[in-house]
């Protein structure tokens, strides 16, 4: 079974620029998550999708972050404009049933300078 694919692996941008991350979940997984992990901290959920719909985006900074999941498969997460404090690893995960946990992709390490 292919894993969760993410790109790019690394991204360096200047503050106030925009950036987008892409995620392709495991085939057949209805639930997709975007997490933010700041160095030294645990992952924090930004947004949870169930198929096309948003289940939870309560911790997504909506003034600068946006996310979509097209046709219930691939997803993109965008930051516009970026701030220094957005420097983190952005992890995508997917699950067939969250009760059994989920699988993470390799992540995108974002550095905002």
How many chain residues interact with another protein (CB under 8 A)? 23
Check binding of 55 to another protein (CB under 8 A): yes
Check binding of 87 to another protein (CB under 8 A): no
**At CB < 8 A and 24+ separation, what contacts does 11-15 make?**
11/108, 11/109, 11/110, 11/111, 12/110, 12/111, 12/112, 12/113, 13/82, 13/110, 13/111, 13/112, 13/113, 14/82, 14/112, 14/113, 15/81, 15/82, 15/83, 15/84, 15/112, 15/113
> Which range in 13-21, 36-44, 63-71, 79-87 contacts another protein by CB under 8 A?
36-44
Check binding of 45 to another protein (CB under 8 A): yes
Check binding of 100 to another protein (CB under 8 A): yes
Q: Catalog residues that contact another protein under the rule CB under 8 A.
A: 31, 33, 40-45, 48, 55-56, 89, 91, 98-107
């Amino acid at each position: 079974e292919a894993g969760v694919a993410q790109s790019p692996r690394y991204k360096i941008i200047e503050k106030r620029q925009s950036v987008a991350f892409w995620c392709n979940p495991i085939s057949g997984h209805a639930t997709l998550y975007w997490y933010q992990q700041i160095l030294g901290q645990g992952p924090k959920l930004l947004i949870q999708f169930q198929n096309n719909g948003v289940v939870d985006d309560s911790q997504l900074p909506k003034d600068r972050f946006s996310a979509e999941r097209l046709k219930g498969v691939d997803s993109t997460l965008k930051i516009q404009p970026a701030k220094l404090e957005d420097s983190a690893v952005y992890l995508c995960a997917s699950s067939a049933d969250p009760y059994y946990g989920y699988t993470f992709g390799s992540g995108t390490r974002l550095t905002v300078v």
